[in-house]
A = this chain, B = another copy of it.
Amino acid sequence: MSSAQVYLDGHFLPLTEARVSVEDRGFLFGDGVYEVLRASAGRLYEEEAHWRRLASSCREVALTLPEGLPAGGLRALALELLARNGLGEGEATVYLQLTRGAAPRTHHFPPPGTRPTLYLSAAAFAPPWEARTRGVQAITLPDVRWSRCNIKSINLLPNTLAKQRAREAGAAEAVFVRDGVLTEGASTTVFAVLDGALVTHPNGPHILPGVTRDVVLALARAAGIPVHERPLRLEEREHFDELFVASTTLDLAPVVALDGQPVGAGRPGPVTRALQQAFYAAQGVTPPTLG
Chain A interface residues toward B at CB < 8 A: 6, 8, 15, 18-31, 61-62, 95, 97, 99-100, 105-109, 119, 121, 142, 144-148, 153-164, 166-167, 186-187, 205
Contact = CB atoms under 8 A, between A and B. Distances in A.
30 contacts: A15-B22, A19-B19, A19-B20, A19-B21, A19-B22, A25-B160, A26-B26, A26-B28, A27-B99, A29-B154, A29-B157, A29-B159, A30-B30, A30-B154, A30-B156, A30-B157, A61-B157, A62-B164, A100-B160, A105-B121, A106-B163, A107-B159, A107-B160, A107-B163, A107-B164, A108-B164, A144-B146, A146-B157, A153-B157, A154-B157
A270 B99 CA distance: 44
Contact of A109 (B15, B62, B164): B164
A25 B159 CA distance: 12
Contacts of A145: 146
B148 A22 contact: no
B20 A27 contact: yes
A27 B29 contact: no
Contacts of A100: 160
Contact of A30 (B61, B144, B155, B162): B155
Given A20-B20, A31-B157, A109-B160, 7 more contacts: A19-B21, A26-B26, A26-B28, A27-B154, A29-B30, A62-B161, A108-B160
Contacts of A161: 61-62
A267 to B, nearest CB: 26
A31 B157 CA distance: 5
A140 B148 CA distance: 17
A171 to B, nearest CB: 11
Contacts of A154: 27-30, 157
Number of copies: 2
A157 to B, nearest CB: 5
A122 B160 CA distance: 29
A119 B160 contact: no
A14 B148 CA distance: 37
**Residue with the highest number of chain B CB atoms closer than 10 Å, among A29, A61, A109, A145:** A29
A-B pairs, top 3 by smallest CB distance, nearest first, are A30-B30, A19-B19, A107-B163
Contacts of A157: 29-31, 61, 146, 153-155
Contacts of A109: 160, 164, 167
A105 B163 CA distance: 13
Nearest to A168: B108
A142 B29 CA distance: 19
Nearest to A21: B19
